[in-house]
Structure 1
Amino acid sequence: MCLLAIQYQLVPDAPILVAANREEFYERPSQPPSIQSGKPRVLCGIDAQAGGTWLGVNQHGLVIGVCNRRKMSSSYPSRSRGVLCRELLKSNSAVHARDVAMEELSSGRYDGANFVCVDAESGWVVHGGNEIDTVEMHEGLNIISNRDLNDPRDERVEMARRLLTLHTLDSPVKFLAVASKVFARPPSPPGRPSIVIREKDRGTVSSTLISLGKKPRDAIYQFSGSAPDRSRYEDYSPLLRDILSRGLREANTKAKT
């Protein structure tokens, strides 16, 4: 499970704004965000058990995220959803990542998952439950957890929407400031929806805030290595700006040849 909010194409200075909480078993090891080798360059955390990731950005400004979801299946899954997430970060566009995700999830080799694929040109969610389908993101706030995108039946999604929209999110600074508080909201009493989840053996294990502007120097990447109500966000923005600058240089060089 996870909770992922994307404010898309609403703020001219930052077309992509992301807030995400990751839920996992506490004993499952992971590594904080780092630049991965190979091309395109990717900034993401790593699941040390399977080698995949849950959220990342590549040098083309493509954001890929995955949320687990329920799925009735008669076959035993043979591939990690996080590994597919990491593979999708090799794409050069959200459309290409969407198509690869659709093809892979249709193979039946994965447990249920929702894949978010978004760049400056388009934004998509691939629902990989009992049926495989894709939904285009609308301009504004899009939120997903373990059901469909913007599902009004998902109490956790609706809670996050209500808390985020109490404020006017018309700049990257405002979005990140509000999201850092909303996504760090302590666990609710049992039986009620909760932003931070804290159960006996699993719960919220990390949180990420991302802002992608029109220029690499404006990009922001903040990461909390545990539940954000107990741990501060640390700044990884220089790493994100580095890979985006590399991507821009390579694109400019290619355009001249």
Structure 2
Amino acid sequence: MCTLIALHRCVDRAGLLIAANRDEFYERPASGPALRATPSGPIVAPLDLRAGGTWLGVNAQGVFAALTNRPCTAPDPTRRSRGHVVMEALAAPTAEQAAEQLAAIPAAVHNPFNVFVADGHRAFALVYGGDRAGELRELAPGAHVVGNADPDDRTNPKVARVLARAEAAAGLGADAALEALADACREQGCGSPHGALGDTCVHTDGYGTRSSLLLRLARDGERASEEPFGGDDRLLFADGAPCTTSYLDFTPLLRELTQRARYARGRDHGRKAQ
């Protein structure tokens, strides 16, 4: 995934708004968002069918995590797949605990990446350099962009352009803001010095924007983490470049996620009572 846009605690009735384009080789197989069982509980996430793991997802406590690859001269094929990082982050019940776990990843375990993690309370970004341990920082409420460069790096033309659009969207209501972020994900022909790779919706031979996801989580710091996903929450997914592929409604997965987590908690309590 190469472009993540986040509006965190800056839009009324939306603790977190996410728009995320995944750029990848066309031949790499993947499946769309679904309810996934993990040792720590159910999550909703797409799946990389080649290496396992995922590039983004959300758990039943409302913790969202997403990863973007950082460029490196020669990726080490013997290192652990970066797709497992998000799965491990989603095992945490809060963004703060997820961030602490991510910051503890030793150097030289994975190839370089950026990771964003947030819930209704707090948001964090981690830059993992591969040969050095990760650098963690907490993000203030507002608009943020995580791509292949440093998070919110306005010296990067693509990040600066998308961040300006995100900041404009933050001044809108939740529904309009989410649509504005979707428009940002469709953007191409930007005249970037990096050519097509500088567009938000990338189209090149053999590589490009494979999918796009929109997420609205209404819960904020005033709502309990155990509260079920409500009527204002949204999950939309385009299984293809969003400039030509419609977003489909996957919101029922959020309701199912809550129900599955409740069932698991009830089963565990029953076992302890025996």
Indicate whether the TM-score tops 0.5.
Answer: yes
Change (3 A) 1:33 1:76: closer
Q: Deviations over 1:145-171 (max 9, x none)?
A: 112221111111111122334455432
Deviation, structure 1 residue 175: 1.3
- Give the equivalent residue in structure 2 for 1:96: 97
In structure 2, distance between residues paired with 1:167 and 1:190: 22
AA matched with 1:91: A
What does residue range 64-103 of structure 1 map to in structure 2 within 5 Å? 64-71=65-72, 77-103=78-104
Select the residue among 229, 234, 244 that pairs with 1:216.
229
- Distance in 1, matches of 2:253 and 2:58, equals 11
CA distance in 1, matches of 2:172, 2:265: 30
Matches within 5 A, 1:157-236: 157-167=159-169, 169-189=171-191, 191=193, 192=195, 193-214=198-219, 216-217=229-230, 218-236=232-250
> Matched residues in 2 for 1:76 and 1:113: separation?
14
1:21-55 per-residue CA deviation (whole Å, 9 max, x = no partner) reads 11111100000100002442100000000111011
Q: Deviations over 1:216-241 (max 9, x none)?
A: 12210000111100100011001113
SS across alignment from 1:18 = strand
Is contact 2:41–2:264 with CA below 8 Å preserved after alignment?
Answer: no
Cα distance in structure 2, aligned partners of 1:114 and 1:99: 15
The answer (yes or no) to whether the contact 2:234–2:251 under 8 Å persists in 1 is yes
Q: Does the 8 A contact of 1:187 with 1:198 survive in 2?
A: no
1:76·1:109 contact (CA, 8 Å) conserved in 2? no
Where does the alignment leave 5 or more consecutive residues of structure 1 unmatched?
A: none
Deviation, structure 1 residue 176: 1.1
Evaluate the alpha carbon distance shift between residue 126 and residue 24 of structure 1 in structure 2; reply closer, same or farther with a 3 A threshold: same
How does 1:144-155 map onto structure 2 within 5 Å?
144-155=146-157
Q: Give yes or no for contact 1:62–1:93 (8 Å, CA) kept in 2.
A: yes
Equivalent residues, number: 254
Residues 208 and 75 from structure 1, CA distance in 2 versus in 1: closer, same or farther, beyond 3 angstroms?
closer
Shift in Å, 1:249: 8.3
CA RMSD of aligned residues (A): 2.5
In structure 2, give the amino acid aligned to 1:33. Answer: P
One-letter amino acid of the structure 1 residue matched with residue 108 of structure 2: G
Counterpart contact for 1:98–1:117, Cα < 8 Å: yes
Q: For residue 9 of structure 1, what is the amino acid of its counterpart?
A: R
- 2:223 is aligned to none
Alpha-carbon distance between aligned partners in 2 of 1:117 and 1:111, rounded to the nearest angstrom = 19
Structure 2: unaligned runs, 5 residues or longer: 220-227
Tell me how far apart the structure 2 counterparts of residues 24 and 246 of structure 1 sit (CA, whole Å): 31
Using a 3 Å threshold, how does the CA distance of structure 1 residues 175 and 79 change in structure 2: closer, same or farther?
A: same
- C-alpha separation in 2, matches of 1:249 and 1:146: 38
AA aligned to 2:151 is: L
- The answer as to 2:76 corresponding to 1:62 is no
* Percent of residue pairs bearing the same amino acid type: 26
Counterpart contact for 1:216–1:245, Cα < 8 Å: no
| Contact kept in structure 1, 2:143 and 2:166, CA below 8 Å | no
